[in-house]
Amino acid sequence: MALQDMIDLLLTRRSLVARDMCEPGPSAQERDVILQAGARVPDHGKLGPWRFVIFEGDARQKCGEQLASIFQDQEPDADAERVQMERDRLLRAPLVIAVISCVVDHPKIPEWEQLLSVGAVCQNMLLAASAMGYGAQWLTEWYAFDDEANAVLGLREGERTAGYLYFGSMTDKPGERARPALEERVSFWGQS
Ligand SMILES: Cc1cc2nc3c(=O)[nH]c(=O)nc-3n(C[C@H](O)[C@H](O)[C@H](O)COP(=O)(O)O)c2cc1C
């Protein structure tokens, strides 16, 4: 990739909402490249404080059944349409990858740095998929924060879900989105 293409990607990347994704998703080979890009992030102390759980094919439906069941237990008054929405969550995209934060106790590397690193993992994966022409979206929704849903995901003691990354082809290209004005966020130290 030429340098300018990379800069263009960084300056124009957009998320595609998962409900607007369609088949085909990334191939197995492309998926592995996305994972490799994810794992190649700044990582103080080479701790690699993350791991990935992949949802493809029927696994999306099977997991959705469990999410819907948890949801229904917590929201017994939810109507059938809403429960079905929970069942179908992971079916919105052909490929879903949960990124798990696995912070370790370390005498020199604080938790904060390990959390920042897993955020970079997610962003690298979004960028890699975007470079391949796929739509991608980082979602947490309710199930990334729910203990029962995290048990379904197989989270171990001390792990947290950084997000579910959804990947698929685009039905439509996303439009622009307002961004924070840089001049409001940038200052030059020493100048008032
Ligand atoms: C950690 C994290 C969690 C997010 N979770 C959600 C979510 O649950 N629902 C949602 O609509 N957007 C969520 N987003 C925002 C989208 O991923 C996306 O960034 C947003 O739609 C803006 O699009 P853009 O990436 O093109 O700027 C989340 C973003 C981050 C960084």
- What does the pLDDT look like over 60-99, one tens digit per residue? 999 999 999 999 999 999 999 999 999 999 999 999 999 9
pLDDT in tens, 9-40: 999 999 999 999 999 999 999 999 999 999 99
C-alpha 15 – ligand 1 centre gap (Å): 8
Substitution site in 21, 125, 137, 167 for ligand 1 pocket (most atoms within 8 Å of beta carbon): 137
Cα of 139 from ligand 1 centre, angstroms:
6
- Contacts with 167 (C-beta within 8 Å, 6 or more apart), sequence order: 21, 25, 26, 31, 34, 93, 94, 95, 96, 97, 129, 134, 135, 136
Using CA atoms, how far residue 118 sits from 38, 137, 146, 155, in Å, is: 9, 16, 19, 15
Q: Is-cis flag, bond preceding 174, omega within 30?
A: no
What 3-state class would DSSP assign to 5?
A: helix
**Domains of the chain as residue ranges with CATH:** 16-53+93-172 (3.40.109.10)
**In angstroms, what is the span from residue 137 Cα to ligand 1's centroid?**
7
The binding-site residues of ligand 1, defined as CB within 6 angstroms of any ligand atom, are 14-15, 137-141, 163, 177
